């Protein structure tokens, strides 16, 4: 039998054309899924968590999981929801969208999770959201800032602000407070978060009359930024916008100092972590970043959270842990108000979240299911971030 | 079958019997499609398994049968995934005149799969033509480099969504389509292995210099094998993007290519059966570990972290215990043939 | 001009690290024709060993050249042992099997090490980056017109060149080196001639892994941050460097490493930085198309 590619391909094509009519759109009201969903509190409350516990985003996923574990532990010690304990099941997304979608499918359909918490990266949340939406199980992303995530459907929420707001805040800050005319941007090309913020920043800053003098990039996991910084230094900017994660920015600041780049660096909430100061040391002094809250915030809830987190996990919380903690608290609060685990009731309860006192600021969910929160701008001095100013949405 | 009968009857008989596998498999797939309705997790896992089987079987044509060493299969998958997704998204508001919406969607989906496969096949040709002249390990590096270049291109292109990737790709992939392409790639691999073309590939694997001395145009054969493999990787990418509905560059990095190579080697280089079995079991292994840990009620927050180190160690153990892979170079249908002495007659039905 | 000089310094500093790791790839490939994908992870283990050692030393003993020496020796010894173990248990049983088999065990070891180190319980360090202590005080060694050359960069470069010369001497001027070359040529015939093949291959792994450990420490001194996945990225690039230089060739690996460092640096400095990785691999492909054995590799005739 000789190999005949034409027949091998054409024949099956005809067959598929003939039988191609078996398309099935995802239906929310599939009876089996409704059965999985319509459970009361007595059946046990299981929260599904998806985060990158391994891989190059593992430090963010682990922080997120820790924040959620702490919130649930507190609630359970206080008696759970109407006396029912809350259980957690955390799956690893390995920082990959397919793994995230896989995990959320399993959590909802196999494990019977009533609600999904996750992911950090918008790219992964975007892969998870359609699954949750189709199954009618609410999903709260603690820290995915891309606007597209909650646009997937009415079951998808977030407790952080979105890129357009945070990027714009920093563009205004650079223009108004730093009086910068020439700004260089440096993005983490592997992170949709960083790429998104830089995009917004460039647009806002040029609209304000400023000039972007250099647009450079690095990749998550890099540790040598000297080439980019040398190029940026040669462009002679007034400030540099680096909205990356603390895993890279700490060393980046150190190398900027070594190369004699003596202008302020600006960043976003991805900076917030005690690791930043461990990696960057005194080189970070005089830099600014936007965040959800100030770790110096005198509110007892903040002090309390930082102390408990340090006791539980032996390190200080980063902003991802804070947001995850808040997301879990919002979720638990909504379950308590709904008094049931049915999807639509939970969805409505979450959507009604108003003035929720979170560690990372007061959370009010708007009609697009995004949190409306003010942003604070922090200035780093002496290995700590200090309140500088705050911006209302 | 007597020789004279086969001589006279071969064309029509082969023509008819070529249809037999399709007639057998299509109702089975249709049945599976119906049976799995209402269990989304099963569907999801099956689709994932199917895509990995297509990838492993197609890579086996290059790495197993031809003995070349490609480390860029995820790159070709990425090309197919992006091309198919872009086409589908552009065509999404349209439907074919005179056809209901659902079948029209499926026809467009089929075209987008073919476009994805063709784009990947073209890339396979462009990469393969110069680089298949290189010796083993150098080819590995070039294909690995190609995969990484694809990733960087996607990260730098606004049309491909940069780091966020493409989202909102219509969800069209069903058990039926994936099953069908799984079947198709296995059939192509089997027919290829049984053909003179396939024997030339094996000759190249066993000794390239000798094969060339026998008059085999080694580069042409290698490029053809490479293009077929790339085509199916592209189709797999298209199928993948149409059930994930989201693709981004990091999904297709070189670690993904490694995973596919691992499937091929673990199954046994050159054995299509082995690739299928390894792809199925290695895709299900992490889920199995999850179920195991869940039932043991281990610390729920940490179970998943130990999966990857365990996976790595299992690979080492598997290779030490069975260096030739699960199946060596044997095939399931070889065992079938041994019992039936006339291979030509049963070949089609396997 | 000063910008150009600064780029040159940066590129050479990064290239030095690539070169040291590439040496390990090239040595192992030379004797076994095996791409040791776990090599980058051995470098990562070296960096963590150095990190742990530094915290065992008293703060006073930690800094200064004595501290550096202790850290280098401990990490190199630990990694040499790790390399021996990997060779003994993951590669030696498969030496006469198809080479792809050892490649899979290499990938398995790489996964086990890099993901194992990400665990956040027991003695595992966890996924978050650690800041390597400042062993040598950073001072400008040379400063002119805004261009700064740091003492750590000079030190790294010096150590790398010394190690490379030492390796060259070992391979071409000693009996052991001659045995290595014989094993590299054909390990079965070398065995027949009375060369202790197993011991020579083990030694090669030990030396390559020790070099990786040194590279890990120098990397950590240069860039401070160490993570469990650092080996994957640097390992991949170093592998590319080894291939560019002609895999199996000692000076080729060093020149390939330096060249790759400089190419990346100038791509970032003078064109679009987001294309860096693509250009690095594009450079590799172009080199291989015109010189299929690498820039400095010997074009060996194929056996019939």
pLDDT band (50, 70, 90) for residue C102:
confident
Residue A6's φ and ψ, nearest 5 degrees, are -60, -50
| A62·C131 Cβ contact <8 A | no
* Pairing assessment for the beta strands A361-365 and A371-372 based on DSSP bridges: antiparallel
Residues in Cβ contact with B248 at an 8 Å cutoff, skipping those fewer than 6 apart: A97, A123, A192, B154, B161, B163, B164, B165, B166
Average pLDDT of the residues in A332-343? 91
Q: For every residue of chain C, which 3-state class applies, written as one string?
A: CHHHHHHHHHHHHHHHHHHHHHHHHHHHHHHHCCCCCCHHHHHHHHHHHHHHHHHHCCHHHHCHHHHHHHHHHHHHHHHHHHHHHHHHHHHHHHCCCCHHHHHHHHHHHHHHHHHHCCCCCCCCCCCCCEECCCCCCCCEEEEECCEEEEHHHHHHHHHHHHHHHHHHHHHHHCHHHHHHHHHHHCHHHHHHCCCCHHHHHHHHHHHHHHHHHHHHHHHHHHHCEECCCHHHHHHHHHHHHHHHHCCCCHHHHHHHHHHHHHHHHHHHHHCCHHHHHHHHHHHHHHHHHHCCCCCCCCCCCCCC
Question: pLDDT of C33-84, one tens digit each?
Answer: 888 889 999 999 999 999 999 988 877 766 677 888 999 999 999 999 999 9
Q: Which of the other chains make 3 or more beta carbon contacts under 8 angstroms with chain A? A: B, C
Q: What is the pLDDT of residue A34?
A: 45
How would you classify residue A236: left for phi > 0, otherwise alpha for psi between -120 and 50, otherwise beta? left
CA distance B282 to B288: 10
Q: What is the pLDDT of residue A232?
A: 94
Q: Are the C-beta atoms of B265 and B94 separated by less than 8 Å?
A: no
Residue B133's φ and ψ, nearest 5 degrees, are -75, -15
Residues 110-169 of B with CB under 8 A from C: 130-131, 133-135, 137-138, 140-142, 144-146, 148-149, 151-153, 155-156
Average pLDDT of the residues in A173-178? 94
Q: What is the pLDDT of residue C216?
A: 95
Average pLDDT of the residues in B240-255? 90
pLDDT band (50, 70, 90) for residue A16:
very low
Q: What is the pLDDT of residue A137?
A: 94
Mean pLDDT of chain A: 87
Mean pLDDT of chain B: 85
| B163·A130 Cβ contact <8 A | no
Look up the pTM and report it. 0.89
Q: Which of the other chains make 3 or more beta carbon contacts under 8 angstroms with chain C? A: A, B
Residues 311-340 of B with CB under 8 A from C: 311-316, 319-320, 323-324
Q: What is the pLDDT of residue A38?
A: 55
CA distance C149 to C163: 21
Q: What is the pLDDT of residue A331?
A: 95
How would you classify residue B63: left for phi > 0, otherwise alpha for psi between -120 and 50, otherwise beta? alpha
Q: Are the C-beta atoms of B169 and B89 separated by less than 8 Å?
A: yes
Which of A52-56, B327-331, C227-231 has the highest mean predicted lDDT (pLDDT)?
A: C227-231
Q: What is the pLDDT of residue B187?
A: 93
Question: pLDDT of C212-253, one tens digit each?
Answer: 999 999 999 988 899 999 998 899 899 999 989 988 888 899
Q: What is the pLDDT of residue B124?
A: 94
Share of chain B above pLDDT 90, in %: 42
Q: What is the pLDDT of residue B15?
A: 63
Residue B226 has pLDDT above 90, yes or no: yes
Question: pLDDT of A70-128, one tens digit each?
Answer: 999 999 999 888 888 999 989 999 888 999 999 999 999 888 899 999 899 898 999 99
Q: What is the pLDDT of residue C303?
A: 47
pLDDT band (50, 70, 90) for residue A214:
very high
Q: Nearest C-alpha of chain A: how many angstroms from C10?
A: 6
Average pLDDT of the residues in B301-305? 68
Average pLDDT of the residues in A252-257? 93
pLDDT band (50, 70, 90) for residue B101:
confident
- Does A73 contact B at CB distance below 8 Å? no
Residue B4 has pLDDT above 50, yes or no: no
Residue A188 in tokens: 């983490």
Contacts of A218 in chain C (CB under 8 A): 273
Who wins on pLDDT, C30 or A304?
A304
pLDDT band (50, 70, 90) for residue B25:
confident
Q: What is the pLDDT of residue A40?
A: 64
A315-328 residues labelled b (16+ CB within 10 A) or e (exposed): bbbbbbbbbbbbbb
Residue A299 in tokens: 């509110």
Which of A27-31, A329-333, B327-331, C135-139 has the highest mean predicted lDDT (pLDDT)?
A: A329-333
Contacts of C150 in chain A (CB under 8 A): 258
Would you list which residues of chain C are within 8 Å, Cβ to Cβ, of chain A? Answer: 3, 6-7, 10-11, 13-14, 115, 118, 120, 126-131, 138, 146, 148, 150, 219, 222-225, 227, 229-230, 232-233, 264-265, 268-270, 272-274, 276-277
**Residue of chain C whose alpha carbon sits nearest to that of A59:** C128
Rg (CA), chain B: 21
Contacts of C127 in chain A (CB under 8 A): 53-54, 58-59, 61-62
| C112·B140 Cβ contact <8 A | no
Q: What is the pLDDT of residue C264?
A: 94
Of A9, A105, A148, the CB nearest to B44: A105
Of C112, C120, C232, the CB nearest to B312: C112
pLDDT band (50, 70, 90) for residue A51:
very high
Positive or negative: CA dihedral B59, B60, B62, B67: positive
* Pairing assessment for the beta strands A139-141 and A156-158 based on DSSP bridges: parallel
Q: Nearest C-alpha of chain B: how many angstroms from C35?
A: 8
Q: Nearest C-alpha of chain A: how many angstroms from C89?
A: 26
Q: What is the pLDDT of residue C173?
A: 92
Q: Are the C-beta atoms of A71 and A328 separated by less than 8 Å?
A: yes
CA distance C248 to C185: 11
Ranking A19-28, A223-232, C96-105 by mean pLDDT, the lowest is: A19-28
Of A30, A95, A146, the CB nearest to B38: A30
Ranking A204-213, B76-85, C65-74 by mean pLDDT, the lowest is: C65-74
Q: Nearest C-alpha of chain B: how many angstroms from C119?
A: 6
Contacts of C282 in chain B (CB under 8 A): 145, 149
Who wins on pLDDT, A297 or A105?
A105
Collapsing DSSP to helix, strand or coil, A188 comes out as strand
Q: How far is CA A328 from CA A158, A359, A375, C168, in A?
A: 11, 12, 21, 59
Give all strands (DSSP E) within chain B, no chain letters: 166-167, 246-247
Q: What is the pLDDT of residue B91?
A: 87
Average pLDDT of the residues in A354-367? 91
Collapsing DSSP to helix, strand or coil, A130 comes out as helix
Q: How far is CA B166 from CA A161, A234, B111, B241, in A?
A: 22, 35, 19, 9
């Amino acid at each position: 039998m000789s190999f005949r590619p034409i027949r091998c391909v054409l024949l099956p094509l005809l067959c598929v054309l003939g039988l191609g009519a078996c398309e099935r759109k995802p239906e929310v009201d599939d009876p089996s899924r409704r059965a999985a969903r319509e459970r009361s509190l007595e059946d046990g409350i299981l929260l599904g968590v998806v985060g990158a516990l391994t891989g190059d985003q593992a430090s963010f996923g682990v922080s997120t999981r820790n924040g959620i574990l702490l919130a649930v532990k507190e609630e359970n010690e206080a008696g759970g929801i109407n006396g029912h304990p809350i259980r957690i099941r955390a799956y690893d997304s390995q920082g990959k969208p397919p793994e995230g979608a896989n995990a959320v499918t399993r959590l909802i359909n196999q494990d019977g999770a009533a609600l999904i918490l996750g992911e950090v990266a918008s790219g992964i949340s975007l892969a998870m959201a359609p699954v949750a939406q189709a199954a009618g199980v609410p999903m709260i992303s603690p820290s995915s800032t891309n606007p597209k995530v909650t646009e997937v459907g009415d079951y998808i929420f977030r407790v952080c602000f979105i890129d357009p707001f945070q990027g714009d805040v920093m563009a205004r800050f650079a223009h108004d407070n730093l009086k910068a005319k020439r700004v260089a941007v440096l993005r983490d090309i592997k992170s949709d978060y960083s790429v998104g913020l830089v995009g917004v920043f460039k647009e806002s800053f040029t609209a304000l009359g400023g000039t972007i003098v250099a647009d450079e990039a690095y990749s998550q996991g890099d540790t040598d930024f000297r080439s980019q910084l040398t190029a940026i230094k040669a462009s002679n900017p007034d400030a540099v916008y680096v909205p990356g994660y603390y895993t890279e920015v700490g060393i980046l600041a150190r190398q900027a100092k070594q190369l004699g780049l003596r202008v302020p660096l600006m960043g976003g909430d991805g900076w917030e972590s005690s690791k930043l100061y461990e990696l960057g040391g005194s080189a970070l002094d005089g830099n600014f970043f936007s965040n959800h809250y100030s770790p110096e915030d005198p509110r007892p809830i903040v002090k309390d959270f930082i102390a408990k987190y340090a006791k539980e996990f032996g390190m200080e919380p980063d902003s991802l842990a804070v947001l995850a903690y808040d997301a879990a608290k919002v979720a638990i609060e909504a379950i308590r108000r709904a008094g049931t685990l049915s999807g639509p009731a939970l969805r409505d309860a979450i959507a009604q979240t108003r003035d929720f006192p979170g560690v990372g600021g007061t959370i009010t969910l708007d009609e697009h299911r995004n949190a409306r929160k003010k942003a604070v701008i922090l200035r780093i001095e002496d290995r700590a971030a200090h309140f500088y100013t705050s911006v209302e949405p | 079958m007597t020789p004279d009968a086969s001589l006279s009857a071969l064309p029509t008989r082969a023509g008819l019997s070529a249809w037999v596998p399709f007639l057998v498999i299509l109702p089975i797939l249709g049945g599976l499609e119906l049976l799995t309705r209402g269990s989304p997790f099963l569907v999801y896992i099956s689709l994932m398994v199917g895509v990995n089987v297509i990838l492993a079987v197609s890579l086996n044509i290059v790495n197993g049968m031809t003995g070349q060493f490609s480390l860029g299969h995820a790159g070709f998958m990425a090309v197919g995934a992006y091309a198919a997704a872009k086409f589908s998204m552009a065509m999404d508001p349209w439907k074919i005149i005179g056809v209901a919406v659902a079948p029209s969607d499926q026809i467009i989906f089929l075209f987008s799969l073919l476009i994805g496969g063709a784009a990947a096949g073209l890339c396979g040709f462009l990469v393969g033509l110069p680089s298949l002249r290189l010796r083993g390990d150098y080819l590995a590096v070039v294909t690995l480099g190609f995969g990484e270049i694809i990733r960087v291109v996607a990260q730098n292109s606004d049309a491909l969504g940069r780091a966020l990737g493409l989202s909102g790709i219509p969800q069209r992939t069903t058990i039926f389509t994936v099953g069908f392409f799984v079947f198709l790639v296995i059939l192509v691999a089997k027919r290829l292995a049984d053909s003179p073309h396939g024997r030339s590939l094996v000759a190249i694997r066993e000794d390239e210099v000798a094969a060339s001395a026998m008059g085999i145009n080694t580069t042409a054969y290698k490029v053809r094998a490479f293009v077929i493999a790339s085509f199916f990787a592209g189709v797999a990418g298209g199928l993948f993007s149409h059930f994930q509905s989201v693709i981004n560059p990091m999904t297709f990095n070189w670690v993904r290519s490694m995973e596919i190579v691992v499937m091929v080697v673990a199954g046994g280089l050159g054995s299509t059966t082995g690739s299928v079995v390894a792809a199925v079991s290695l895709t299900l292994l992490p889920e199995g570990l999850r179920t195991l840990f869940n039932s043991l009620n281990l610390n729920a927050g940490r179970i998943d972290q130990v999966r990857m180190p365990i996976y790595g160690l299992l690979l080492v153990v598997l290779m030490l215990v069975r260096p030739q892979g699960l199946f060596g170079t044997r095939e399931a249908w070889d065992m079938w043939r041994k019992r039936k002495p006339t291979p030509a007659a049963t070949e089609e039905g396997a | 001009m000063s910008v150009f000089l600064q780029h040159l310094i940066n590129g050479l500093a990064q290239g030095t690290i690539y070169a040291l790791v590439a040496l390990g790839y090239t040595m192992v490939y030379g004797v076994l024709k095996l791409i040791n994908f776990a090599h980058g992870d051995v470098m990562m283990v070296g960096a963590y060993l150095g990190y742990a050692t530094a915290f065992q030393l008293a703060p006073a003993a930690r800094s200064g050249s004595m501290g550096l020496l202790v850290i280098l020796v401990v990490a190199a010894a630990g990694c040499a042992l790790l390399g021996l173990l990997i060779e003994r248990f993951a590669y030696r049983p498969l030496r006469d099997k198809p080479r792809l088999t050892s490649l899979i065990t290499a990938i398995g070891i790489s996964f086990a090490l890099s993901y194992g180190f990400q665990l956040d319980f027991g003695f595992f360090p966890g996924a978050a980056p650690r800041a390597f202590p400042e062993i040598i005080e950073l001072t400008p060694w040379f400063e002119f017109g805004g261009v700064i050359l740091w003492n750590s960069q000079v030190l790294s470069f010096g150590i790398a060149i010394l190690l490379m010369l030492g390796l060259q001497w070992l391979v071409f001027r000693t009996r052991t080196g001659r045995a290595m070359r014989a094993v590299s040529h054909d390990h079965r015939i070398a065995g027949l001639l009375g060369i202790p093949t197993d011991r020579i291959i083990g030694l090669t792994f030990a030396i390559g892994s020790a070099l990786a450990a040194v590279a890990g420490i120098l990397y950590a001194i240069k860039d401070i941050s160490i993570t469990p996945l650092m080996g994957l990225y640097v390992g991949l690039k170093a592998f590319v460097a080894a291939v560019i230089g002609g895999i199996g060739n000692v000076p080729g690996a060093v020149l390939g490493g330096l060249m790759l460092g400089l190419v990346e640096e100038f791509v970032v400095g003078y064109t679009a930085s987001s294309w860096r990785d693509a250009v690095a691999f594009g450079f590799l492909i172009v080199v291989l198309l015109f010189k299929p054995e690498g820039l400095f590799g010997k074009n060996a005739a194929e056996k019939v």
